[in-house]
Amino acid sequence: MGRPIRVLFGTETGNAEGCAEELLEGVQALGLTAELTDMDDYDRDEIAEEEYVFIVTSTFGNGDAPYNAEQFLDFLKGPDAPDVSSLRFAVCGLGDRSYPNFAQCGKDFDARLDALGGTRVVPRMDCDVDFEVPFDQWKRQVLGWLAENPPEAGDAPAPAARPEKKGGFWGKVSGWFGGKKAEDVVSAPTSPTSTPAPATSAPAEKPTWTRDNPFMSKVVARRLLSGEGSAKETMHYELDLTGSGIEFHGGDSFGVFPHNPPAEVAGILEGLGLDPEAAVTLKDGSTRALRSVLTRVKDLQRVPVDLLRALADAGGPGADALAAGGEATAAYLKERYVLDVVRDHPDAALDAQRLTDLLRALPPRLYSVANSPKIDADRVHFVVETLRYERQGRPCEGVASVWFADRVGDEPVPLYLQPNTAFRLPAPDVDIIMVGPGTGIAPFRAFLQERQVAGGSGRSWLFFGHQHQATDHLYSNELQAYAASGVLARQSYAWSRDQDDKIYVQDRIREEGAEVWKWLQGGAHVFVCGDAHGMAPGVHEALHQVAITHGGMDRDGAEAFVQGLVDDKRYHRDVY
């Protein structure tokens, strides 16, 4: 073997990168030489020369490749893709089963490498949103295969220190908050009251702000959208983009990197008896205080299986779950954050550096754009429900939502644009049906703003739902103004708690099915934004029922009709 083992990752929020990091470390622990590479930095022509490639990739939306994997996957699908018959490979795909094309990017990579002549050494693993246990199983299969089929001794180059990556979350994050890295870092202010890094004047060259290189914004406006007495605290935020050069559209999202709740950080430090100021080294070589790392760099919700093993080394409920197998381990982890697992194992002995090494990177939170740049290109608006809840008998917080609501103040907010070309408005003369309960209203507020500016003959119909009309009618004044002006042709509301029987947006779609069918027959596009697990499947089924009841179709015909909307790019979903 003349080349190192290659670990490639494609990622949107960093989860796939964190998994790829774990695999790399496992390969290196076998005494083998391996390199971790962002697909965006990978020389695609090298695939013909590779001998071992292991891919971990997420899927964006309903089957698309993440932004940094698009070009490489297109190359493998294209006419210039080479023969890779000398390649041994395996693929792990992260996804969300609420989408029809679940983990599709991983499936695509697996199929293409197979079709190009590569040899699959372990079966592809498709991981749902709770990916920790299935990824760990796949990783252990890969490492087991490598242990049994090691590169021939003497053929591989001598192991060396891991090369510095060109990009990647780990190499950037410390720089955002004052850490030291020699190059390619946007340094954020170290004080929460400092001014964000970009100046108000436009830069000489338009920068590219990405997940690895975020723009340092600032919250410049906020207001409460929900009314007094609401069970939900829903907030409107505006963040300053002046000087960024970011060009966004309604339908896009922004990724935001928040800070972890102080109570979670303090509880972990106390539970493990660790010094908050203990110096730890991150994977880019920078040194930071442990408390700062736990606050700003590490994910305190997802518990990697290797962390569980380390904490449960001396026994306890985690050890019992591990011994019972994958399903029991997954069930145990599903109900617990890092603090919960620490408290479950009071006798655990884990030093600051080991804890740091085992935790994953804090992933960004994605928020739909709630305004059109045609109205204000220098600000982006978010609609955020502040999450406060109990878990394992203790109070918990939404990491980003409570940070925004209670603590962000004048601190810089690292953010980046996540374009979504599959969730964009059609031409102004095309009708649109928008289904967005709760915070799913966000992109449709942007759509209505854009349609107000653009004009055109296309009609807009909004299905909105929430608990109570009196307290949860988000942006009610704006929506009524759009209705009065004709920008919003129809409004259908579902207030689930205003009567004995709960009513949801999918119920309203069925009730108004005759008119929905007319709009669909006239070429209307359907947009759905919001809850992936209850609302989105309910709306999907309601569209089938509309086709059956008002289109005179049988079940097979209805399924073909709805799939036709997808194929014609008239059915758009942004669900989470």
Q: What is the DSSP string of 46-61?
A: GGGT-SEEEEEE--BT
Same domain, 13 and 139: yes
Residue of 535, 12, 59, 40 lying closest to 254 (CA atoms):
12
Inter-residue contact 540 to 561 (CB < 8 Å): no
Residue 187: Cβ-neighbour burial (10 angstroms; 0-12, 13-18, 19+):
middle
Identify the pLDDT of residue 96. 87
Cα gap 55→446, rounded to integer Å: 37
Give helix 15-29 / helix 132-148 axis angle, nearest 10°.
30
Residue of 410, 464, 417, 415 lying closest to 442 (CA atoms):
464
Inter-residue contact 460 to 488 (CB < 8 Å): yes
DSSP per position, 223-267: EE-SPTT-SSEEEEEEEE-TTS-----TT-EEEE-----HHHHHH
Same domain, 429 and 351: no
Cα gap 439→198, rounded to integer Å: 30
Same domain, 468 and 354: no
DSSP 8-state secondary structure symbol assigned to residue 433: E
DSSP 8-state secondary structure symbol assigned to residue 339: H
Last residue of a domain, one of 335, 358, 381: 358
Residue of 13, 23, 31, 100 lying closest to 56 (CA atoms):
23
445: in domain: yes
CA angle 341-283-211, nearest 5°?
90
Residue type present at position 414 = P
Cα gap 266→262, rounded to integer Å: 6
Last residue of a domain, one of 306, 326, 358: 358
User: Hey, what are 281's tokens?
Assistant: 């080294």
Identify the pLDDT of residue 109. 97
Domain housing 276? 262-358
218: in domain: no
User: Hey, what are 493's tokens?
Assistant: 């509301």
Cα gap 366→251, rounded to integer Å: 12
Cα gap 570→523, rounded to integer Å: 8
Same domain, 452 and 545: yes
The domain that contains 277 carries what CATH number?
Answer: 1.20.990.10
Last residue of a domain, one of 118, 148, 178: 148
Kind of pairing between the strands at 460-466 and 490-495: parallel
64: in domain: yes
Cα gap 27→34, rounded to integer Å: 7
The domain that contains 516 carries what CATH number?
Answer: 3.40.50.80
411: in domain: no
| CA dihedral of residues 351, 354, 357, 360 (deg, nearest 10) | -70
Residue type present at position 24 = L
Sign of CA dihedral 482, 488, 492, 494: negative
Same domain, 17 and 114: yes
**Which residue is it, tokens 């690292």?**
414
Cα gap 227→473, rounded to integer Å: 8
Total domains in the chain come to 3
Please state whether the predicted TM-score (pTM) of the whole model is above 0.75: yes
Same domain, 285 and 428: no
User: Hey, what are 222's tokens?
Assistant: 């906020």
Q: Please compute, for residue 301, the number of CA atoms within 13 A of its CA located in the half-sphere on the CB side.
A: 18
Same domain, 337 and 449: no
User: Distances from the Cα of 375 to the Cαs of 46, 379, 425, in angstroms?
Assistant: 46, 9, 16
Would you give the end-to-end CA distance of the chain in angstroms? 43
Provide the β-strand partners of residue 391. Answer: 394
199: in domain: no
168: in domain: no
415: in domain: no
SS3 state of residue 553: coil
Sign of CA dihedral 113, 37, 58, 71: negative
Identify the pLDDT of residue 207. 55
327: in domain: yes
Q: For residue 144, what are the contacts with CB-CB under 8 A and spacing of at least 6? A: none
SS3 state of residue 222: strand
Same domain, 438 and 569: yes
Residue pLDDT tens, the chain, 576 long:
478 999 999 998 889 999 999 999 999 999 999 999 999 999 999 999 999 999 999 998 778 898 889 999 999 999 999 999 999 999 999 998 877 788 999 999 999 999 999 999 999 999 998 899 999 999 999 999 999 998 875 444 333 333 343 334 444 444 444 433 322 222 233 333 333 334 333 434 545 898 889 999 999 999 999 999 999 999 999 999 999 999 999 999 999 999 999 999 999 999 999 999 999 999 889 999 999 999 999 999 999 999 999 999 989 999 999 999 999 999 999 999 999 999 999 999 999 999 999 999 999 999 999 999 999 999 999 999 999 999 989 999 999 999 999 999 999 999 999 999 999 999 999 999 999 999 999 999 999 999 999 999 999 999 999 999 999 999 999 999 999 999 999 999 999 999 999 999 999 999 999 999 999 999 999 999 999 889 999 999 999 999 999 999 999 999 999 999 999 999 999 988
DSSP 8-state secondary structure symbol assigned to residue 392: T
Cα gap 154→158, rounded to integer Å: 9
What are the phi and psi torsion angles at 235 (to 5°)?
-115, 150
Cα gap 388→402, rounded to integer Å: 8
Same domain, 560 and 462: yes
Same domain, 287 and 431: no
The domain that contains 107 carries what CATH number?
Answer: 3.40.50.360
What are the phi and psi torsion angles at 383 (to 5°)?
-115, 120
Same domain, 443 and 569: yes
Rg for the chain, CA atoms, rounded: 25
Inter-residue contact 425 to 374 (CB < 8 Å): no
Residue 1: Cβ-neighbour burial (10 angstroms; 0-12, 13-18, 19+):
middle
Same domain, 316 and 445: no
Residue 348: Cβ-neighbour burial (10 angstroms; 0-12, 13-18, 19+):
buried
